Structure 1
Amino acid sequence: MDRTDRKIINLLGADARRSLADIGTAVGLSQSAVNERIRRLQATGVIRRFTVEVSHRALDESVLVFIQLLLAADADEEAFRRAMARHCDVLECHHVSGRWSYLLKLRFAVLGDVEAFLGELKRAGYIAASETIITLSTVRERSFRDDGDPS
């Protein structure tokens, strides 16, 4: 992967519907050359899918929280992982180092939904301890590394 591939990734990351012609102009390649590079990036797994960015406010999901949790000693960790992978409120679930076992990123409509989610985990016997961090605002949120201005 070279600098041009990174530029293409950044352009698609900013707008996945951007035309091949527009990308080609920005990186100095023909449409067919851009198309071939995108196909190669997909084939090698660098680009996994094309997606949309939604307004969480418009969806009434303005409460963003991070929950650090320590699994209970007798918790079924594989069952926990499966539950988090399919739970509709869990945006991200990361196995982490340090005091905590996992870090979760979640969005909710109201703050009370956080308590309900934690109650669900407690009833399932997953939690020994947890710490919830409520975001006040988001300065930057991305799903890929941006190497700078692609143009």
Structure 2
Amino acid sequence: MDNVDRGILDLLRQNARAGYGDIGSVVGLSASAVKRRVDKMVSDGVIRGFTIQVDPAADGMSTEAYVELFCRGTVAPAELRRMLSAVPEVVGAGTVTGSADAIVHIRARDIPSLEDALEKVRVAPNVDHTRSAIVLTRLVHRASD
């Protein structure tokens, strides 16, 4: 990957529907040259897919929380992934340093739905307790995947 490829990626992150000609006019290539580079980045696995981003509020999923997950004993990341993947409201999760074992990002329709999702997480085997923070206002959001 060179700086031109990075420029193409930056433009596609802003608008995955941008035309190759429009991208080419910014990065200094023809539409066909941009297409060849995009095709190569797809085949190399640099670009994993093209998608849409839906406003969660428009989709009815405007209530969100970040949840610290504390486990009893040692729980493998693969087991945490299996457990959390079973809860549809979990939109992201990762193991972390510090006293918590994982941080979980949950989106739900409303507070009762959020509470139901939290309960699904809490009753999972090896979960000792959780600590939740409900998001009041999103300040910064950048798509990174």
* Same fold? TM cut 0.5: yes
Q: Is the 8 A contact 1:95 1:101 kept in 2?
A: yes
Label 1:97 to 1:74 Cα distance change in 2 as closer, same or farther (>3 A): closer
Q: CA deviation at 1:75?
A: 5.9
**1:1-151 to 2 correspondence within 5 Å?**
1-73=1-73, 78-144=78-144
Question: 2:101 is matched by which residue type in structure 1?
Answer: S
State the TM-score, normalizing by the size of structure 1: 0.85
Contact preservation (8 Å) 1:76, 1:126: no
Q: 1:144 to 1:74 in 2, by over 3 A?
A: closer
Residues 65 and 133 in structure 1, CA contact (< 8 A), matched pair in contact too:
yes
How many Å separate the matches in 2 of 1:136 and 1:32? 46
Match of 2:23, SS? Answer: helix
Contact 2:87 / 2:120 at 8 angstroms: preserved in 1? no
Q: CA RMSD in A?
A: 2.0
TM superposition score normalised by structure 2: 0.88
Count of paired positions: 145
Q: Which has the higher contact order (CA 8 A, sep 6+)?
A: 1
> Which stretches in structure 2 are left out of the alignment for 5+ residues?
none
Distance in 1 between the 2:86 and 2:2 partners? 35
In structure 1, C-alpha distance between the alignment counterparts of 2:75 and 2:33, rounded to whole Å: 51
Unpaired segments of 5 or more residues in structure 1?
146-151
- Cα separation, 2, equivalents of 1:116 and 1:134: 14
1:35-81 deviation per Cα after TM superposition (whole angstroms, max 9, x unaligned): 11111222222211111010111111111211111122276764432
Partner of 1:67, secondary structure, is: strand
**Deviation >4 Å, runs of 4+:** 74-77
Q: 1:17 to 1:122 in 2, by over 3 A?
A: same
Secondary structure, counterpart of 1:68 in structure 2: strand
Q: Secondary structure at the match of 2:34?
A: helix
Offset from partner CA, 1:107-146 (integer Å, 9 cap, x none):
111112222122112222342121111111112212229x
Q: CA deviation at 1:31?
A: 0.9
